[in-house]
Amino acid sequence: MIALPSLSQLDRASSTRIWLCIGPTDMRRGFDRLAEQAHTVTRQDPQSGHLFVFRSRGGDRLKLLHWDKDGYVLWYKRLEEGTFKLPRLNASQHSVELQASELAMMLDGIDLSSVKRVRRYRREEKSL
C-alpha cells in the first residue's frame, strides 16, 4: 500500500515544498489535468518532486499530486463527515505554500484559519 509521506519525512526533505491550489478543483481530474492545473496555478514544475494539494468545491475531498522519480502518485481522501478547512488567505491568491505541519493539521481536521503561527527567527541566506 502506498502511504502519504510522514510529517518527519516531509520536514527532513527540505527540498519538498507543498503547494495548495486554492480554487475548487473538479475531482474527476486525473494525473495529467491536475499536473497542468498545478503548473498553471502555482507556476511550479509538477515533476519537481513538490506536493500539490487540490480541494473539491464542497471541501470534503482532497487530492495530492506528487512526482515520484518515474511517474505521478495521486492520493485521494474523501471525508464521510465535515470539510477540510483552509488557512487564512488573501482574495487575490491562487495558491499558497504550506508547511508539512499545516498539511498534517488539515488532514487531521484542524481549522487552519483559526491557527495563528507565532513569529520565529529566520536566518537570512547570504548570496555568494
pTM over 0.95: no
Query: What is the rounded CA–CA span in Å between residue 33 and residue 30?
Result: 6
β-bridge mates for residue 76, sequence order: 63
Give the model's confidence band at 7: pLDDT under 50 very low, under 70 low, under 90 confident, else very high: low
What are the grid coordinates assigned to 110, written together?
484542524
Query: What is the rounded CA–CA span in Å between residue 73 and residue 4?
Result: 10
pLDDT score of 100: 83
β-bridge mates for residue 97, sequence order: 19
C-alpha closest to that of 79 among 50, 55, 49: 55
% of the chain at pLDDT higher than 70: 88
| Most confident option among 41-55, 93-107, 108-122 | 41-55
pLDDT score of 9: 65
What are the grid coordinates assigned to 86, written together?
483552509
